[in-house]
Structure 1
Amino acid sequence: MEAPQYVAARVQQALAEDGRTHELGIRVDIRGEQLFLRGQVSGVEQRERLGQVAREAAPELHVHNEIKVVDVTEPGEDEHLD
């Protein structure tokens, strides 16, 4: 059985390099047979894709997708569309 830190590194690499996700800011925590994904993304589809890639990268673990979806389209003070 691989050491947890190696599995976490493998999953993080998959999330960063997979064409479906290209996500760098996701934290991967492993506790025994459980893998936790934590972080923030801008859409539900991206969140689901990250869970899928993690499951493919570590099929032996139970993936808990705790990634939060944040709305990045909130109008900000600096945004002026003319």
Structure 2
Amino acid sequence: MEAPQYVAARVQSALAEDERTNELGIRVAVRGDQLFLHGQVSCDERRALIADVAGEAAPGLTVRNEIAVMDVREPGEREKL
């Protein structure tokens, strides 16, 4: 069985190198047979893609997607000082 830190590093590398994600800001942790993803993204689609890539990089592990979706909006009115 591969050490958890090596699995996490492999997933991190896959998230960074896969053209679907190119993601550096997601933290990965492995505990037993579960792979945990933590971080923030701008939309649900990106969150799902990251989980897909992570699952492909670590087959056999249950992916626990704990990535939060940030509410990103255009700036409002200009602030007058």
Normalized against structure 1, the TM-score is what? 0.89
In the aligned structure 1, how far is the partner of 2:29 from the partner of 2:19? Answer: 22
Q: Quote the RMSD (CA, aligned, Å).
A: 1.7
Identity of aligned residues (%): 71
Q: Which residue of 2 aligns with 1:33?
A: 33
Consecutive unaligned residues in structure 1, runs of 5 or more: none
Q: Which runs of 5+ in 2 are unaligned?
A: none
Q: Which 4+ stretches in 1 moved above 4 angstroms? A: 76-79
For 1:73, the equivalent position in structure 2 comes to 73
Q: CA offset at residue 73 of structure 1?
A: 1.8
Provide the rounded CA distance (Å) in 2 between the counterparts of 1:61 and 1:55. 7
Q: Would you say how many aligned residue pairs link Structure 1 and Structure 2?
A: 79
TM-score by length of structure 2 reads 0.90
Q: Provide, for residues 41-74 of structure 1, a one-character-per-residue CA deviation record: whole Å limited to 9, x for no partner.
A: 0011000000000000001110000000002225
